[in-house]
Amino acid sequence: MATETYTPPLGYKILTPLYDLAIRYLTRENAWRSALAKQINPVPGDRILDVGCGTGSLLAILAEHCPEADFMGLDPDIEALERASKKINGPNIRFIPGFLSKEALPQGWQPTKITSSLMFHQVPLLKKSEIVDIMRSLLMPGGELHIADYAMQKSPLMRSAFRMTVQQLDGVEDTKHNAEGILERILVAPGYLTEKTLSFPTATGSISLFKAKFLAS
């Protein structure tokens, strides 16, 4: 896992300090992130894992909504995690540097909910499916996956916006599969009730929310 590479938040490390501002003003962040937090609906006793947590914006909202839940943010970008730790701090919030794996989490800590936002479009095609598989293997029966990301860009306007912004920064190869609908396919699996709940047109393309519930046998 140590040899794995990743794409920084805005495609280039030099742009990381601008990430929060760019997301706030170019992606209608308040609208989609608030909707994602409401969809996740943290409750006391929840153990929530944010994969690719970046600068911690989602965890800050979730922890404010429910201080009694247990939160963990995972990201390979040390600079982003440093920004996250300055943004939020509390005994129920932990940040772990690294890539998603069973070994990355503390022993005995099993998430009831796993979330990720604006991460999958930066990941190579085969890795997208691998990450979803690992998420499913970690999740408790009855648990939930909550994803917000650039998914299928249905309209010419949204495809053009995505092409001129996200693909210019993050590259075409990793991002094109999202625009073609890869998330709509890999998030569907036997034993899960999966739905695309909302979509938000933005200046950078359409951002969609997904929910997949692990049906306990």
pLDDT tens per residue across span 192-202: 999 999 999 99
How many angstroms from the chain centroid is the CA of residue 99?
13
* Crossing angle for the helix pair 57-65 and 29-40, to the nearest 10 degrees: 50
- Was domain 13-214 assigned CATH 3.40.30.10? no
* pLDDT at residue 99 greater than cutoff 90: yes
* pLDDT at residue 3 greater than cutoff 70: no
Domain boundaries, the chain: 13-214
120, 147 Cβ separation under 8 angstroms = yes
Which of the four pLDDT bands, split at 50, 70 and 90, describes residue 89? confident
* pLDDT at residue 27 greater than cutoff 80: yes
* pLDDT at residue 216 greater than cutoff 80: no
pLDDT, residue 2, reads 42
pLDDT, residue 1, reads 36
Secondary structure element (H or E) that encloses residue 198, with its range: strand 192-202
Which residue in 199, 208, 104 sits closest to 150, CA to CA? 208
- In the DSSP assignment, the letter for residue 141 is T
Higher pLDDT among residues 136 and 2, named by residue:
136
Which of the four pLDDT bands, split at 50, 70 and 90, describes residue 61? very high
Q: How far apart are CA 68 and CA 60, in angstroms?
A: 13
